[in-house]
Amino acid sequence: MATFKVLRRVDAYADYVAAVEADSPEAVAILAADAPCRYHWVSVGTQEFDDRKYVALDADQLEIEHTAQGDPI
C-alpha cells in the first residue's frame, strides 16, 4: 500500500488590528482600505469555521483536484 500526502485546508479568518486616526468610523475604514501598508497591524488571532477540504497532493505538492473531498472552500 502506498503513502500519499494530503492537504487539509480549514476555512478561517486571520484578524489584525491597527490604530488609525480619522474624523469618523466611516473615514477610518476607508483610510485603512486605501493604504493598509501605512499602518502597523497586530495579529489578534484566527477563527476557524466548519468548512474543511481534503485533497491529495502530487509529487510537486500541487493539489490533485479530482481527489478533493469535503466542503468547497
**Segment 48-69, tens digit of pLDDT:** 888 899 999 999 999 999 999 9
List, for residues 22-50, the tens digit of each pLDDT value. 999 999 999 999 999 999 999 999 998 88
Q: Kindly list the domain boundaries of the chain, sorted by start residue.
A: 6-70
Category of 31 on φ-ψ map: left (φ > 0), alpha (ψ -120 to 50) or beta: alpha
CA distance 14 to 63: 23
**Shortest CA distance to 6 belongs to which of 52, 58, 60, 50?**
58
Q: Give the pLDDT of residue 23.
A: 94
